[in-house]
Structure 1
Amino acid sequence: MSEQISLTGYVPDSANGKRLDQTLAEMFPDYSRSRLKSWITEGCVQVEGTVVDRPREKVLQGMAIEVTAELQQEQRFAAQPMALNIVYEDDDIMVINKPAGLVVHPGAGTPDGTLLNALLHHFPAIDQVPRAGIVHRLDKDTTGLMVVAKTIPAQTHLVAALQNREITREYEAICNGVLTAGGVIDEPIARHPTKRTHMAVVALGKPAVTHYRVAERFRAHTHLRLRLETGRTHQIRVHMAHLRHPLVGDQTYGGRPRPPQQADEAFLLCLRQFRRQALHAIRLELHHPITGEWMTWEAPTPPDMVELLQMLRRDRAQHGMDD
């Protein structure tokens, strides 16, 4: 299903000399930058009566712009009543503390029971926003903070802020092995060449940058704080595995139990039973997409990671080691 839309206007003074795609984003904020860019390349945009299909084309104030395009309706998903841990909500955005085991968006093998279905039930009008306002994702078994846009203008601004690296996303994780210091991982990521459900560090992949610092050291593990510059699929998990320090519990990227010598049975059982990647989105900072206010949220460490950290500290103390 699709509908024909027609948008017209004149290049404002503030866009004089700017690129066409940037100008359209300013003139028609109800549509995402990616959608506007695709309309340009598909020949749906005329400037002064002439089709322009180059997004980088410069325009001048006062030029007449007309967009005539097919607007594809979003795939419809069912609203489902599900509990949501809403940390913050106003007319424009929601911040969710996602639990482990919750898939963010329907896909192969998970047609419903996702965060998107829950959002549709909590706020039905979000059905008018592409992807029900989801602008970034967390893996199924990663916990923590996500921001969701409740309106198209809010989504447009949040997507742009993500692309411009203006949103701070900080995580905590527990990895195998002892790291002596923090650092930066600047390694490109792409789909794994043979394992199609996996990602990997690949020379010709998309740029990916992760900053990390040591929060606490144990006998054979390290508690980390990490900050993303980019948001590639599985980025932290892939980067830490690349360093040969995969996250505890990460079944996909090699985080099998690696206990220290002479660990007691309680500690060994805790490690064996930790069956998800030990990764939590602990802090989120951004400019509110409508008001511009700088906002910060934190989500407490989830109980399973708290228990694991307690076991790690107990094991360290039993063997007379200081952090």
Structure 2
Amino acid sequence: MTQQIIRTDTVKDSQLGQRLDQAMAELFTDFSRSRLKEWLLAGNVQVDGEVVTKPRIRMMGGEEIILQAELEDEERWIAQDLPLDIVYEDDDILVINKPRDFVVHPGAGTPDGTVLNALLHHYPDIAKVPRAGIVHRLDKDTTGLMVVAKTVPAQTRLVRALQKRNITREYEAIIIGTMTAGGRIEKPIGRHANKRTLMAVTETGKDAVTHYRVAEHFREHTRIRLRLETGRTHQIRVHMSYIQHPLLGDIAYGGRARIPRGASAELTQMIRSFDRQALHAVMLKFVHPVSGEEMKFHAPVPDDILIMAEALRQDAKDNVEDEPI
């Protein structure tokens, strides 16, 4: 099955000098950059009434862009009867609490068994929405809240809100090392130069901003709350590693086990066996894309992080040094 797509928009004055493909990515936010480029190269795009197939031509501002194409269902995306922890739903959106070990979108090495496959089973009509309504992602082993659009208009508006930084996402994490105060990290993130499956702070990357504050101190770890302004791949993991406070359990980004001096054998084993990044999307706030109502959701911190925090808390109490007389 195919869906006819017709979109028309005008290049803004603020986009003066942008390449056509960049301008289209900002104007037609309900489609991925790669899909837009495919359509552009295939001759499905008109600029001021003429078919254009060169992505790199520069915009002057004021051009009318017409996109006319067919959106084909992705045959590799199959519906699968997988459980979803639904926090909220209506006719337009869905909010879920994602567990660990659950990939959001099919990709290399994970062709199915994802959140997307589950969405297609529970909501067959969501196949008509680009990316099955997925607006933002969480890493495989990051738990917590995600909003999904059930209609194309809802997805378009949520994607725009995300790009304008009007969706608030807060996370709970346990990091390695003792952090004395909160702060703001503003460092661009791009693909790692040598490890292509990882990301890194790099001057050629995309802008990325993370805010964090201290929630609780332990002896060799800190519990923190984080708020994202941007949503780059692995953003929190990369930024915290960059400031030398990687997430507990995040081996990929340098989260090697750090055992407090004199820790019990039980705590030592718990730290060494913690097998995922200690990161949970705890709060999500946004304006409903159709009703305009402000919505706010919370997801309880999962047991593995709670148990680890309690063990570190008890360790700190058991090892308080005597105050000087």
Partner of 2:165: 165
Question: Where do residues 1-323 of structure 1 align in structure 2 (5 Å cutoff)?
Answer: 5=4, 7=6, 32=31, 44-46=44-46, 49-50=49-50, 56=59, 58-59=61-62, 67-320=67-320
Contact 1:74 1:130 in 2 (8 A): no
Contact 2:190 2:200 in 1 (8 A): yes
Shift in CA distance, 66/270, structure 1 to aligned 2, threshold 3 Å? closer
Shift in CA distance, 17/189, structure 1 to aligned 2, threshold 3 Å? closer
Deviations 1:148-182 (Å, cap 9, x if unpaired)? 11111111111111111110010010000000000
TM-score normalised by the chain length of structure 2 = 0.85
How far off is 1:304 after superposition? Answer: 0.3
> Which runs of 5 or more structure 2 residues have no equivalent in the other structure?
none
Shift in CA distance, 292/190, structure 1 to aligned 2, threshold 3 Å? same
Letter in 2 for 1:169: R
How far off is 1:110 after superposition? Answer: 1.4
Shift in CA distance, 184/269, structure 1 to aligned 2, threshold 3 Å? same
Q: How many residues align?
A: 314
| Aligned counterparts of 2:12 and 2:194: Cα–Cα separation in 1 | 48
Deviations 1:193-243 (Å, cap 9, x if unpaired)? 011111111121111110000000111100000011111111100111111
Shift in CA distance, 39/221, structure 1 to aligned 2, threshold 3 Å? same
| Aligned counterparts of 1:33 and 1:57: Cα–Cα separation in 2 | 23
| Aligned counterparts of 1:241 and 1:140: Cα–Cα separation in 2 | 18
| Aligned counterparts of 2:185 and 2:7: Cα–Cα separation in 1 | 45
Comparing 71-80 and 136-145, the one that deviates more: 71-80
Contact 1:249 1:257 in 2 (8 A): yes
> Which runs of 5 or more structure 1 residues have no equivalent in the other structure?
none
Letter in 2 for 1:241: S
| Aligned counterparts of 2:67 and 2:103: Cα–Cα separation in 1 | 36
Contact 1:41 1:55 in 2 (8 A): no
Identity across the alignment (%): 58
1:284 is paired with a residue whose SS is strand
1:178 is paired with a residue whose SS is coil
TM-score normalised by the chain length of structure 1 = 0.85
How far off is 1:74 after superposition? Answer: 3.2
How far off is 1:123 after superposition? Answer: 0.7
| Aligned counterparts of 1:253 and 1:284: Cα–Cα separation in 2 | 25
1:307 is paired with a residue whose SS is helix
1:79 is paired with a residue whose SS is coil
1:296 is paired with a residue whose SS is strand
1:252 is paired with a residue whose SS is helix
Shift in CA distance, 318/169, structure 1 to aligned 2, threshold 3 Å? same
Contact 2:247 2:278 in 1 (8 A): yes
How far off is 1:68 after superposition? Answer: 3.6
How far off is 1:320 after superposition? Answer: 2.0
